[in-house]
Structure 1
Amino acid sequence: MFRPAAAFLTATSLLGLVAAPAAAEEGMWTFDNFPAAQVRDQYGWAPDQAWLDRVQAAAVRLTGGCSASFVSSQGLILTNHHCVASCIFENATQDNDLLTNGFIAAGLTDEKKCAGQQAEVVTQITDVTDTVKGAFAGLTGEALTRARDAKIAELESAGCPDKERTRCQVVTLFGGGQYKLYTYRKYSDVRLVWAPEDRASTFGGDPDNFNFPRYSLDASFLRAYENGRPVATPQHLRWNPRPPREGEITFVVGNPGSTSRLNTQSQLAFAREAVLPVTLATLSELRGRLIRAMDESPDHRREGLDTLNGIENSLKVQIGRLKALNDPAFTATLADREAQLRQRSAGNAAIGDPWADVEQAVTAYRALYLPTRFISPSGDLYAYAQTLVLAAQEREKPDAERLPGFTNSALPLTQKRLLDERPVYSWLDQLTMEWSLSKAREYLGADDPDTRLLLGRESPEQLAERLVTGTRLADPAVRQQLWDGGLAAIRASDDPMIQYALALADRQRALREQVNEVYSGPLAVAGARLADARFAAYGDSLYPDATFTLRISYGQVKGWEERGQQVPFQTTLGGTFERATGNAPFDVAPAFARQRARIDPNVSFDFVTTNDIIGGNSGSPVIDRAGTVIGAAFDGNIHSLGGNYGYDPALNRTVAVSADAVQEALEKIYPSPRLVRELAAK
């Protein structure tokens, strides 16, 4: 499954540009540049502006890293089960493990808050490219990034004076070729409404992850509230519980997290040689440590499950990406595209040689990559401390001088994530911190100054135990006091985790400044010139890399050929029982087993389309030509893992759960008559 966009993504975001324009069905398109003519040429029909406007108004971004959609007039939100698994688990009690047992709210008063979650709907997209570029014209390095970030902070603050109801975000597209101001209507109170048993969503487990056929009920419902009441959402998508039809046109609307399709060869080499190998080695060890600890007790098994699922999913993603970058045929295609663009741009003095500039920046960044990666230990409690320290320091400055994430426009969400109440498991936090500190010592070396700063004279195990057992930051009231008290309270605090975060803050800032000077600043300039080269060569009807902002892709319901065999375009509910072995992870969810006689075995379960998606699209509605919801995207097939770098229309597939299956579950497996009525309301 595609986990949330932010989960376990440790690779640094890189900038660049490939060369060729999008092939048919390729592309995660911005709503202000939808390729209507291209779609019409292929399908004989394309959405008009009114259709696009309706869909945009119902598309939801979940700040936990997923996508969703409004599907009723009362703020009801459709998304994936795995997108809200943390919320489900955090609302569990010792007597009722909601993740294992599932959850059905009997009424509005039973719907449960999701800590740290926020639902956002795009209301406007404004091109601010000239304004942002003008702010750093003629500057380089750290000075460039400071001027750019200051202008962005100014635009975001001015664009959304109502911080309670709106959020503004300036998004960098085409590696710095464009800057767009996205304005969102936000809903900061999001509650859990309905979720099946975890096994219904995770049937097949890691072996089936990123594979097909699938038998996964990866769907859940949330609701947006405001002032203690469900929000009115008259602009919602109509629920349409019908089976998909092979060959029909489909649209996936959501917020793909991050792609690297616009990277240069030097950036791809850096990912292949440095980023991905380190990520795979370290995450593999974390997985092993976690499995061992989970075997210690039933409580550990329950409390660590969501984290383990995220790690295993991330490992599969990174393995797929490394495999793609080691595939000679695939990488040759990427190299050819870059060569074509360089040839088309040769002799253009205004463009120059940005590829050489990118290579120089990447070379400089190689020396900073490991210290930058490891200077911030892992763990929820340390993350709380780091946020409190940085927020206190940054709030002392004018808005234009603050770090991203701590400007006036960003602070409400930062504060919400910090202060919302959620459980923290000391054993899990200690394990995660031990792991990250031990990996820092391993990769940096025991005598490295950064290792000495991180550890002092303690071992990773001693330090993690002292900090985790000594801190009080698991208590949201303590976090609130420190937030309200500002820098004076932070400096006066005797909390060991706060003092540790303070001790690391100066070095973290110094590394950030070095990265801005030799890497981020140069890439902003080179990225803009690479974008100019692409626009000059192919026009401006192009799609940018994914940025966890609203996109729309088009495709069709269609299987593919694998090893000489045709993979079907859908599975049925009845197939679940045929695939089941009785042994985990192929053990049927208890409610499925109990209701087997009532379940219609012919109901469409999961299906595949040629839509182009990536992590962050989880929960995206799959929409038909009529603009109705016929499913929710939750995964890609194994071939889509290379989709971070490119799209293959013959093999890449989106995997979705059908609205038909969700309706069957709502009526017979996990009955919720009130949701059935709400979804059927006109």
Structure 2
Amino acid sequence: MSARLALLAAASFAAIGFATPAAAEEGMWTFDNFPAERMREQYGWAPDQQWLDRVRAGAVRLTGGCSASFVSPRGLILTNHHCIASCLFDNSSDTADYLDRGHVANRLEDELPCPGQQAEIVTSITDVTADIKGAIGTLAGKALTDARDARIAAIEAAGCTDRATTRCQVVTLFGGGQYKLYTYRKYSDIRLVWAGEDRAATFGGDPDNFNFPRYSLDAAFLRAYENDRPVATPQHLRWNPRAPQAGEVTFVVGNPGSTSRLFTQSQLAFEREVRLPVTVATTSELRGRLIRAMEESPQHHREGLDTLNGLENSLKVQIGRTKALGDPAFTRTLADAERDLRARSSVGAADPWGSVEQAVTAYRALYLPYRFTDPSGDLYAYAQTLVMAAEERGKPNGERLPGFTDSALPLTEKRLLDQRPVYPWLDELMMSWSLSKAREYLGADDPDTRLLLGQESPEQLARRLVTGTRLADPAYRRQLWEGGRAAIEASDDPMIQYARRLDPRQRELEQQVKQRYAGPLTTAGAQLADARLAAFGDTLYPDATFTLRISYGRVQGWTERGQEVPIATTMGGTFDRATGNAPFDLAPAFAANRAAIDPATAYNFVTTNDIIGGNSGSPVIDRDGTVIGAAFDGNIHSLGGNYGYDPALNRTVVVSTDAVQEALEKIYPAPALVAELRAAPAPRQRRRR
């Protein structure tokens, strides 16, 4: 997501519709409202507050969009390989392809910097609902969002005066029914310690993605540094390299990105009729363009692989969501839930469902220009951030757009200025694609198309801007950042000039979205939140917001087309599944060490835990509070989990610590790392040797 679209994401796509009490293992629960009594009724046991506090202190949010956990007293972090693939990619060159071959650092000095990455630990959660609702009062539309955002900026600034080590973020829950201040201890120097070959992590490729059985070593280790030294993390989680047991209780602790389970029927109709069709069609074309370009040379293949992996994953998600909203039985369940809430609700003269429908109707008219006046590409994103920052940083904190407030600026600056490679051909491809789609969807004669293209074709414009800009140089970006408005206005860089040309129209569209969509949704969201809480009490959980949540479940398979799906695979099964042809070709280190690998090692397993994108890398924790795996995927049925959870079919897919330990010892040997993990041992229940 670009800088501009990220600004209004929380408001513009707030989930505010229906809800029913969570059932079975459903629920991504906040740590200040864990349903201990409900779990105790179902399982005969539930964690106490001390257990929850200990687990919370070891859970990590990675600002690249994933989750993780501290697993040693020296800042060692467990996450997924696909969560750090960009770090491998950013450190690679034609002579050192870390993404392809992996990386093992047995000395601290060999650990690789991860540009743009930051690790964050929740230290407190504070309810600020009354404060923010008081600031909103009876305001509506843009006035409402301005007052709300100003109060949020003030609360965040007051809560985190030391912005070098802390981050404050006010999170909107239940579409405006609740507001919570999350305070984080942050670490801005993150380095890569260990990762296997890409083929080991992506074995099975796109065909196996969101499927099970799986044979994926989707695990990696990072380390947090401060003042050029590993940080002390005495409250880490304990590493426990063992196989999962059928039926055992499991917890997933992480940061699910976003869900739409509280959408009204009108919001779901917009998803089904507008957003998803546009997204699937345009992403499919981009995937085809990228594959063709990658076939031009081995260099292009290396430089485009990380982007392609992300595109294919995203496309499969969007196709899965499209299928879910096209399933009559599934959508009937969603419609029935809304009717149930309406029947239970007493909202007086207000008609929040009608207000949502009016807002969505207004957004339908705004959506295409709002989406397509925002070109793609890293270089344009740098320019856009610099142009917006020059304007926003001159304003009082309470009047700035999200992303440029005092609390948000350190991360914005880090992402802008960290050094990472930019590949001109790839940036040109991304930009020309997005501009061509803008012309297609808006029309050649649309004023926004003329603003975007002038007299040039998408290809001509992208080539001129990408070849002419200096923004690939972080020193030049720093010069413009530190020079502020004067430097931006004086710059003759064509990409900066282009971003300045688009900026007024983008701001105009943002204001219209606030006035006609985000503001009305916030008002209706507060009304619906009150109705839900009155009807169902605290048996509800809010939609995901990429903030810390905990889900509970168990190790359990499911029935697929009359066949029982097993709970786990073994590492030996990898060799049986391999065909010698991509994407089922063995990673070289796997093939070379076949004789040493214990084939009975538990590899991937499934649980009933309720997760969504953003949970990637989340520690999977047993009843003792020890880490027995890292969540890295869901099964194909989980793609509908954006809108609802099916306990019979939705499953989390996990890489086991048993397999990671085997890889650390025999496939990608890391004796220093093995010793570090052993330094704070968990109860060892490893398989037989």
Q: TM range, normalised to the smaller chain?
A: over 0.9
1:679 corresponds to which residue?
677
The 1:167–1:10 alpha-carbon spacing in structure 2 relative to 1, beyond 3 Å, is closer
CA displacement 1:599-654 (0-9 Å, x = unmatched): 00000000000000000000000000000000000000000000000000000000
Structure 1 match to 2:59: 59
Contact 2:106 2:673 in 1 (8 A): no
Contact 1:141 1:520 in 2 (8 A): yes
Matched, 1:288 2:288: yes
Tell me, yes or no, if structure 1 residue 308 matches structure 2 residue 304: no
Give, in angstroms, the shift of residue 136 of structure 1: 1.1
The Cα shift of 1:17 comes to 2.1
Change in CA separation of 1:657 and 1:610 when aligned onto 2, cut-off 3 Å: same
Code of the residue aligned with 1:657 in structure 2: it is V
Matches within 5 A, 1:49-198: 49-198=49-198
- State how far apart, in whole Å, the 1-side matches of 2:315 and 2:257 are: 17
TM superposition shift of 1:12: 6.2
Q: Secondary structure at the match of 2:83?
A: coil
CA-atom RMSD, angstroms? 1.1
Q: Secondary structure at the match of 1:581?
A: coil
Q: Distance in 1 between matches of 2:161 and 2:274?
A: 42
One-letter amino acid of the counterpart of residue 645, structure 2: Y
Alpha-carbon displacement from aligned partner over 1:406-456 (angstroms, at most 9, x marks no partner): 000000000000000000000000000000000000000001010000000
Quote the offset at 1:664 in angstroms.
0.1
Secondary structure of 1:488's partner?
A: helix
Aligned residue pairs, count: 673
Residues 93 and 10 of structure 1, relative CA distance in 2, 3 Å threshold: farther
Render the CA deviation track for 1:76-98: whole Å, top value 9, x for unaligned: 00000000001011112322211
Counterpart of 2:86, as a letter, is S
Counterpart of 1:252?
252
Unaligned runs of 5+ in 2: 1-5, 681-689
State how 1:297-336 maps to structure 2 within 5 Å: 297-336=297-336
**535-544 or 417-426: which moved more?**
535-544
The whole-number CA distance in structure 2 between the counterparts of 1:521 and 1:367 is 16
Is the aligned partner of 1:519 residue 2:501?
Answer: no
Q: Are residue 349 (structure 1) and residue 348 (structure 2) matched?
A: yes
Look up the match of 2:684: none
Checking the alignment, whether the CA contact within 8 Å between 1:252 and 1:621 is kept in structure 2 is yes
Give the CA deviation at 1:24.
1.1
Deviation at 1:540, TM superposition (A): 2.2
1:532 corresponds to which residue? 530
Work out whether residues 16 and 267 of structure 1, in 8 Å CA contact, stay in contact via their aligned partners in 2.
no
Contact 1:11 1:279 in 2 (8 A): no
Secondary structure of 1:60's counterpart equals: strand
Aligned to 1:212: 212
Once residues 305 and 646 of structure 1 are traced to their aligned partners in structure 2, the CA distance between those partners, rounded to angstroms, is 32
Match of 1:484, SS state, is helix
1:234 lines up with 2:234 in the alignment: yes
In structure 1, stretches of 5+ residues that fail to align are 1-5
- What corresponds to 1:451 in structure 2? 449
Look up the SS of the partner of 2:184 in the other structure: strand
Aligned to 2:683: none
Structure-1 residue corresponding to 2:409: 411
CA distance in 2, matches of 1:541, 1:314: 32
Report if the CA contact (8 A) 2:20-2:540 is conserved.
no
Partner of 1:3: none
Aligned mate of 2:478, from 461, 477, 480: 480
1:224-255 deviation digits (Å, cap 9, x = unpaired) = 00000000000000000000000000000000
Does the 8 Å contact 2:15/2:543 carry over to 1?
Answer: no
Note the C-alpha offset of 1:116: 0.2
Question: What amino acid is the match of 2:512?
Answer: Q
* Residue of 589, 598, 623 corresponding to 2:621: 623
Aligned to 2:540: 542
Change (3 A) 1:321 1:12: farther
State the shift of 1:297 in Å: 0.3
Taking the aligned partners of 2:445 and 2:616, their CA distance within structure 1 comes to: 43
Q: State the AA in 2 paired with 1:540.
A: D
Q: Retained in 2: the 8 A contact 1:193–1:222?
A: yes
Using the alignment, how far apart are the partners of 1:43 and 1:679 within structure 2?
31
Task: State whether residues 33 and 541 of structure 1, in contact with CA within 8 Å, keep that contact through their aligned partners in structure 2.
Answer: no
Question: Residue 270 in 1 paired to residue 267 in 2?
Answer: no
Q: Which runs of 4+ in 1 moved over 4 A?
A: 9-12
Q: Distance in 2 between matches of 1:408 and 1:250?
A: 39
TM-score, structure 1 normalization = 0.98
Q: Work out the CA distance in 1 between the residues paired with 2:153 and 2:549.
A: 24
Whether contact under 8 Å (1:10, 1:279) holds in the other structure is: no
Provide Cα deviations, 1:513-555, integer angstroms capped at 9, x if missing partner: 0000000000000000010010010112310000000000000
Alpha-carbon distance in 2 for matches of 1:78, 1:531: 36
Report the Cα offset of residue 349 of structure 1: 1.2
> Displacement, 1:506?
0.5
What letter matches 1:277 in structure 2?
P
Letter in 2 for 1:333: T
Task: Output the CA distance in 1 between the equivalents of 2:13 and 2:512.
Answer: 16
2:594 matched to which residue of 1? 596
Provide the rounded CA distance (Å) in 2 between the counterparts of 1:11 and 1:678: 43
Counterparts of residues 534-573 of structure 1 (less than 5 Å): 534-573=532-571
2:222 is aligned to: 222
The equivalent of 2:393 in structure 1 is: 395
What CA distance in whole angstroms lies between the structure 2 residues aligned with 1:161 and 1:119? Answer: 19
TM-superposition CA deviations, 1:141-193 (whole Å, max 9, x none):
11111100000000000000000000000000001000000000000000000
Mean CA deviation greater in 591-600 or 17-26: 17-26
Question: Matches of 2:83 and 2:274 in 1, distance apart?
Answer: 29
Q: Which residue of 1 aligns with 2:36?
A: 36
CA shift digits 1:436-484 (9 cap, x unpaired)? 0000000000010100000000000000000000000000000000000
Deviations 1:300-343 (A, max 9, x none): 00000010011111110000001000100000000000001001
Aligned residue in 2 for 1:614 = 612
CA distance in 1, matches of 2:494, 2:676: 50
Q: Deviations over 1:565-595 (max 9, x none)?
A: 0000000000000000000000010000000
Residue identity opposite 1:216 in structure 2: S
Tell me the distance in 2 between the aligned counterparts of 1:219 and 1:10.
Answer: 30
CA distance in 1, matches of 2:353, 2:34: 29
Task: Tell whether the 8 Å contact from 2:225 to 2:231 is kept in structure 1 after alignment.
Answer: yes
2:593 and 2:44 map into 1 onto residues whose CA distance is 43
Larger CA deviation: 532-541 vs 493-502: 532-541
User: Shift of the alpha carbon at 1:19?
Assistant: 2.7
Per-residue CA distance 1:192-237 (angstroms, 9 max, x = gap): 0000000000000000000000000000000000000000000000
Q: CA deviation at 1:15?
A: 2.3
Q: Any conservation in 1 of the 2:243–2:656 contact (CA below 8 Å)? A: yes
Structure 2 letter corresponding to 1:24:
A
Deviations 1:273-300 (A, max 9, x none): 0000000000000000000000000000
Q: Which amino acid aligns with 1:306?
A: D
Please give the secondary structure, in 1, of the residue aligned with 2:595.
coil
Q: Within 2, Cα distance between the matches of 1:288 and 1:314?
A: 14
Aligned to 1:340: 340
Name the residue aligned to 2:46. 46
Within 2, Cα distance between the matches of 1:287 and 1:516? 32
2:82 partner SS: coil
Deviation at 1:11, TM superposition (A): 13
